[in-house]
């Protein structure tokens, strides 16, 4: 079994997780299924009433006779024969003629045959006749005719002089319907719909190739480490409305529908403690792969497809380094869909990376780089979107720009396009120190990330590691509890809030 197959292994924990994750839907299915079955039983299905009578077949031979036991066995066989005769057309025709004439009905032979059943009671010399009808009185009246005619017609045979038929249990008027069973139908309706809904969600989860947690990502990351785990977080504006607006759980959301509002998405005193700490952890991990050649490292950040949140992640990583007092430059190298100017509110006509690489701007660090754009961080925005971004990124001017940047800054970060959508991220392999690969929990697909890994290996690129972004604290099926492992809403977060309140006072 390969690594990817392990992610779809059916275990008890997996089955329980599906149940727990979809419990509300299953309870709703139970109510709807039971309610629908109850309504169907009560309003659509006609109740059926029945009346039954039991007959005994007895031998007329004296009990002292040596052959009496043999006659008793024969009586049991006669009981089985009589049960068959009662269901035959000869007997039913007599019952039909008598019943219709006596009660003024127009019942047909076919209708009567559908209402009557006769069964022998095993090895006993008894047989039971049952009449079932939607009319309780009709069932009782037909049975009364059967009780009257059975001994007379069935014994009308000169060869059966030693056999007698007598009534054991007389039929009565049924006041309670035998069927349908309201309780049973209601229970079965609820259980059946719950089972169908559960199977639907089980198949959906079983076939789902979305990455939700660290364990999912490890199945396709190969030997590339996971260096960052960023929890899902909401701005103050979103906190006020998230109880009323719930994000869709669908993992195949269109990138155009991903959150594009960057207000409040940068690290600040209002950022949740868990998010701040996660970026500090990521920052620490990046320091271990930096300065391999005693020069300032250049990190390129990319993802498989758009929507992973790479631009916000790298912006906050750069801010985190700048907060240490380091000289940091963030370059928006995604010249097909640039967003750093929106993230840092640097919109407007200004020269950027495209003008520098095209030779329009000759002094990038004096005129194009925005100094102290956010808490000591310098930012070089994209500028105007060029028609040839790949050529510009692979140009000699790009190499010269990074060489000069490494002399002036401690860390350089480049926001690159998704590597599976364009070739732009791959053309800078020789000039970046390492790639940071961003994966969005609940959005990125396993096959896509496997493709990213394969692409990086093909390019022989140096990869710092993966960053799993936007992790839901509950995970996809309840497996992954970010909070209990990494301090999400833990005692440390409470400590952070107390410290913040003390600082404000």
pLDDT in tens, 11-25: 888 889 889 989 999
**Given this model, what pLDDT does residue 154 score?**
84
Q: What one-character-per-residue DSSP string does 344-392 give? A: TT--SS---HHHHHTTS-S-IIIIISEEEEETTEEEE---SPPS-HHHH
pLDDT band at 392 (very low <50, low <70, confident <90, very high): very high
pLDDT band at 503 (very low <50, low <70, confident <90, very high): very low
Measure CA 124 to chain center. 57
**Given this model, what pLDDT does residue 330 score?**
97
**Given this model, what pLDDT does residue 1 score?**
40
**Given this model, what pLDDT does residue 495 score?**
43
Q: Is 49-169 CATH 3.30.70.1130?
A: yes
**Given this model, what pLDDT does residue 100 score?**
93
**Given this model, what pLDDT does residue 427 score?**
93
Handedness of CA 383, 387, 389, 394 (dihedral sign): negative
As a whole number, the mean pLDDT across the chain is 83
**Given this model, what pLDDT does residue 447 score?**
92
Handedness of CA 342, 344, 347, 353 (dihedral sign): negative
Handedness of CA 159, 161, 163, 164 (dihedral sign): positive
The half-sphere exposure of 320 on its side-chain side, counting CA atoms within 13 A, is 21
Token duo for residue 390 = 């790949």
Q: Are 103 and 135 in contact (CB under 8 A)?
A: no
Q: Find out whether the peptide bond into 382 is cis, omega within 30 degrees of 0.
A: no
Interior CA angle at 325 toward 322 and 329, to 5°?
40
Q: Find out whether the peptide bond into 397 is cis, omega within 30 degrees of 0.
A: no
Give the residue-averaged pLDDT of 245-270.
Answer: 61
- Rounded Cα–Cα distance for residues 179 and 344 (Å): 72
For residue range 44-97, what is the model confidence (pLDDT) as tens digits? 888 899 999 999 888 666 554 444 555 566 777 888 888 899 999 999 999 999
Q: Scanning the structure block, which residue is given the tokens 């009534």? A: 167
- Rounded Cα–Cα distance for residues 431 and 418 (Å): 18
pLDDT band at 326 (very low <50, low <70, confident <90, very high): very high
In percent, the amount of the chain with pLDDT more than 70 equals 81
pLDDT band at 225 (very low <50, low <70, confident <90, very high): very high
Handedness of CA 275, 277, 281, 284 (dihedral sign): positive
CB atoms near residue 73 (< 10 Å): 12
For residue range 134-170, what is the model confidence (pLDDT) as tens digits? 999 999 999 999 999 988 888 876 455 667 888 888 9
pTM beyond cutoff 0.85: no
Is the confidence at residue 99, as pLDDT, over 50? yes
Give the residue-averaged pLDDT of 270-292.
Answer: 89
pLDDT band at 361 (very low <50, low <70, confident <90, very high): confident
pLDDT band at 410 (very low <50, low <70, confident <90, very high): very high
Q: Scanning the structure block, which residue is given the tokens 């009323």? A: 244
- Rounded Cα–Cα distance for residues 229 and 282 (Å): 8
Handedness of CA 354, 357, 358, 359 (dihedral sign): positive
Q: Is 214-504 CATH 3.30.365.10?
A: no
Is the confidence at residue 344, as pLDDT, over 90? yes
**Given this model, what pLDDT does residue 237 score?**
61
Residue 411's nearest CA partner among 248, 297, 275 is 297
Q: What one-character-per-residue DSSP string does 88-126 give? A: SHHHHHHHHHHHHHHHT----HHHHHHHEEEEE-TTSSE
190 vs 347 pLDDT, higher one: 190
**Given this model, what pLDDT does residue 156 score?**
78
Return the domain boundaries, the chain: 22-45+181-207, 49-169, 214-504
Beta-carbon contacts of residue 293 (< 8 Å; ≥ 6 apart): 433
**Given this model, what pLDDT does residue 263 score?**
82
Q: Scanning the structure block, which residue is given the tokens 């209990």? A: 484
- Rounded Cα–Cα distance for residues 470 and 480 (Å): 13
């Amino acid at each position: 079994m390969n690594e990817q197959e392990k992610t779809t292994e059916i275990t008890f924990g997996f089955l329980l997780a599906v149940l727990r994750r979809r419990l509300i839907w299953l309870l709703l299915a139970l109510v709807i299924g039971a309610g629908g079955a109850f309504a169907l039983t009560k309003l659509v299905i006609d109740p059926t009433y029945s009346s039954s009578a039991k007959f005994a077949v007895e031998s007329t031979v004296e009990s002292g006779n040596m052959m009496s036991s043999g006659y008793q066995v024969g009586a049991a066989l006669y009981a089985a024969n009589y049960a068959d005769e009662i269901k035959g057309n000869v007997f039913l025709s007599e019952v039909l003629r008598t019943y219709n004439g006596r009660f003024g009905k127009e019942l047909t032979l076919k209708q009567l045959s559908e209402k009557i059943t006769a069964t022998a009671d095993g090895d006993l010399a008894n047989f039971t006749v049952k009449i079932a009808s939607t009319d309780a009185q009709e069932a009782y009246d037909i049975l009364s005719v059967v009780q009257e005619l059975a001994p007379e017609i069935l014994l009308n045979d000169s060869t059966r002089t030693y056999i007698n038929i007598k009534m054991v249990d007389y039929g009565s008027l049924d006041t309670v319907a035998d069927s349908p069973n309201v309780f049973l139908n209601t229970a079965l309706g609820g259980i059946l719909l719950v089972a169908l809904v559960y199977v639907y969600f089980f198949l959906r989860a079983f076939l789902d190739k979305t990455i939700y947690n660290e364990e999912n990502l490890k199945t396709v990351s190969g030997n590339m480490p996971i260096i960052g785990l960023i929890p899902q977080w909401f701005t103050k504006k979103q906190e006020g409305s998230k109880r009323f607006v719930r994000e869709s759980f669908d993992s195949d959301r269109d990138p155009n529908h991903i959150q594009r509002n960057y207000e409040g998405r940068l690290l600040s005193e209002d950022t949740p403690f868990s998010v701040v700490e996660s970026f500090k952890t990521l920052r620490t991990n990046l320091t271990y792969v930096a300065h391999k050649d005693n020069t300032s490292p250049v990190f390129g950040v990319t993802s498989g497809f758009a929507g992973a949140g790479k631009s916000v992640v790298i912006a906050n990583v750069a801010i985190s380094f700048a907060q240490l007092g380091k000289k940091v430059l963030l370059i928006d190298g995604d010249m097909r869909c640039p967003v750093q100017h929106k993230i840092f509110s640097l919109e407007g006509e200004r020269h950027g990376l495209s003008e520098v690489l095209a030779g329009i701007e000759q002094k990038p660090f004096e005129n194009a780089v925005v100094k102290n754009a956010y808490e000591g961080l310098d930012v070089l925005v994209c500028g105007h979107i060029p028609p040839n971004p790949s050529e510009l990124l692979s140009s000699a001017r790009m190499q010269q720009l990074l060489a000069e940047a490494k002399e002036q800054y401690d860390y350089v970060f480049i926001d690159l396009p998704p590597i599976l959508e364009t070739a732009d991220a791959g053309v800078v392999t020789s000039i970046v120190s390492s790639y940071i690969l961003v994966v969005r929990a609940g959005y990125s697909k396993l096959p896509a990330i496997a493709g990213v890994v394969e692409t990086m290996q093909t390019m022989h690129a140096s990869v710092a590691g993966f960053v799993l972004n936007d992790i839901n604290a509950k995970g996809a099926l309840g497996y992954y509890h970010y909070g209990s492992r990494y301090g999400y809403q833990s005692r440390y977060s409470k400590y952070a809030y107390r410290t913040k309140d003390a600082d404000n006072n």
